[in-house]
Structure 1
């Protein structure tokens, strides 16, 4: 009888240890999700145009700010009008911040004479997208005209990049 009691006690202790181990364990679930943003799109409104420029033996610069189409000319004569570039972010996820950029180096107008370097400037480095009130972003810059720059039309293209911040 004593042996039966020992076996019964051992069985009870073993069963209790199994139950108490399970009583300390817990299981919980978690959610996983992802949101895909609408791809960003840009729409060009106007191109960057430094206008008509009369060079000379020394060369000079033409600066077109992002805030207006009023350029300043140093060492050269500017004739007529100039236009800063403008564009709008036309597609993005509402309320998201969109970062904007243009190259800071390596842009040059090419034509019949030596290339003329352009230093570009951007009016806004980022915007918060609002489809009900699209923002216009402007690009200006400074054009360096070489000494005795050959007459003719000079042009180039440059990238404008917009991406989520």
Structure 2
């Protein structure tokens, strides 16, 4: 029994000693993102949030900021400064179903965005990138873009404003 233990240790030690020397792993300075979107039929999945970007309000003129539902482009009215390094984006959703199936998209926007201090921004409206009634493509998927317009008051207090909205898909 004593010799069997020594033999087992000797075999284990020889495996350890015979292991190749590996170079230390080096990571990429900025890891590249890897993504995949999996869709289950008769579902609706958020791909990205709508974001109005960084905005500087005027001290003399109220204005509007709009995100285009189709292109994701952002525009602002006179008196509003749109910060170019944070341009925002449209909301985007994906769904799946049978090819040729009809789906009705219903959007219920919030009435306002609020920051943690309780300050509010009025949501003028939100839009879809196309008709509410859609036909699912031959590849069995569909995408929905969401845009909107908000009202920025004179001297609007700073802060991160947010709210939620409902988007539903009624498969026909």
TM-score, reference length from structure 2: 0.66
* Structure with greater helix share of residues: 1
Q: CA deviation at 1:101?
A: 1.5
**1:34 corresponds to which residue?**
none
Q: Which position in structure 2 is the counterpart of 1:85?
A: 91
Unaligned runs of 5+ in 1: 1-37
Aligned pair count reads: 126
Aligned residue number for residue 54 of structure 2: 52
**Alignment partners' CA distance in 2, 1:149 and 1:156:** 17
1:61/1:113 CA distance change after superposition, 3 Å:
farther
User: Looking at CA atoms only, which structure, 1 or 2, has the larger radius of gyration?
Assistant: 1
Q: Post-superposition shift, 1:95? A: 2.1
Once superposed, what is the RMSD of the aligned Cα atoms? 2.0
- Check conservation: 1:109, 1:155, Cα contact below 8 A: yes
Instruction: Determine if the alignment matches structure 1 residue 107 to structure 2 residue 114.
Output: no
Equivalent of residue 102 in structure 2, options 97, 109, 116: 97
Q: 1:6 maps to what in 2?
A: none
1:137 aligns with 2:144: yes
CA contact (8 A) 1:113 1:150 kept: no
Gaps of 5+ in 2: 1-39
1:40 aligns with 2:42: yes
TM-score scaled by structure 1?
A: 0.68
Counterpart-to-counterpart distance in 2, 1:71 and 1:151: 19
Q: Quick one: distance in 2 between partners of 1:116 and 1:39? A: 37
